[in-house]
Chain A
Amino acid sequence: EPEVTQTPSHQVTQMGQEVILRCVPISNHLYFYWYRQILGQKVEFLVSFYNNEISEKSEIFDDQFSVERPDGSNFTLKIRSTKLEDSAMYFCASSVEGSHGYTFGSGTRLTVV
């Protein structure tokens, strides 16, 4: 069964550093997403991406965040200057037709120290 692949599985970074989280969506999917889940809390929408541009973003997705699909297969989330409160599990997801039938990756656990 096709999978959404995320790397790394765990990343530790110092406050103020830039991090890039990587995702390889399912090959025939057209919509791409990033979500985050702070430990023990609900999954929160960050951003959706379609046709090489951001379609929708939440209040969480401020100027410190950016997304890119640099080569037609990878989908990345960059946090420019990490804060302690950015520590969370970050999930990438993709779908064929919008919000229906998402497939989530296994996530990247980001720890900011």
Chain B
Amino acid sequence: QQQVKQSPQSLIVQKGGISIINCAYENTAFDYFPWYQQFPGKGPALLIAIRPDVSEKKEGRFTISFNKSAKQFSLHIMDSQPGDSATYFCAASMTGGGADGLTFGKGTHLIIQP
């Protein structure tokens, strides 16, 4: 019930295209859903996050879409660029104001072809 399932495992997109990564969760107590970007040899870096009280959040070329009833959320990268090539992780946590750990998905290796 703690799992976050992420797909696809790998994704190749042409420069300028839209990259879409999907995640699904089971635990309805999760109420914070961040996406992290990780480059080789680096730690994950927070990209964008959403709470279940909104269905969409946009920051620049990055958009999270959230479907509470389906318990799914997705990351859309518009106008994908070669510099976006990285591994992307979705995650979820129960905030509750405490030091809750994040449950990560297995990651998506994204390659943007020039």
B interface size (C-beta, 8 A): 26
Q: Which residue of B lies closest to A105 (CB)?
A: B43
Contact between chains at A56 and B43 (CB < 8 Å): no
Contact between chains at B99 and A44 (CB < 8 Å): no
Give Cα A54 to B104, complex, Å.
20
Beta-carbon contacts under 8 Å, B1-50 to A: 32, 34, 36, 41-46, 49
Q: Which residue of B lies closest to A4 (CB)?
A: B43
Contact between chains at B41 and A50 (CB < 8 Å): no
Residues of B within 8 A of A (CB): 32, 34, 36, 41-46, 49, 89, 91, 93, 95-107
Which 10 A-B residue pairings sit nearest by Cβ, starting from the closest? A104-B43, A45-B101, A55-B99, A48-B99, A99-B93, A43-B104, A42-B106, A50-B99, A99-B100, A31-B99
Contact between chains at A42 and B104 (CB < 8 Å): yes
When distances are taken between beta carbons in the complex, the residues of chain B under 8 Å from A102 are 34, 44, 46, 102
When distances are taken between beta carbons in the complex, the residues of chain B under 8 Å from A58 are 101
When distances are taken between beta carbons in the complex, the residues of chain B under 8 Å from A35 are 101-102
Given contacts A98-B99, A101-B49, 14 further A-B contacts (CB under 8 A): A4-B43, A31-B99, A35-B101, A35-B102, A42-B89, A44-B104, A45-B103, A46-B101, A48-B99, A49-B99, A50-B98, A56-B98, A58-B101, A102-B102
Known: A42-B89, A42-B106, A100-B32. A56 touches B42 (CB 8 A): no
User: Any chain B CB within 8 A of the CB of A75?
Assistant: no
Give Cα A48 to B107, complex, Å.
22
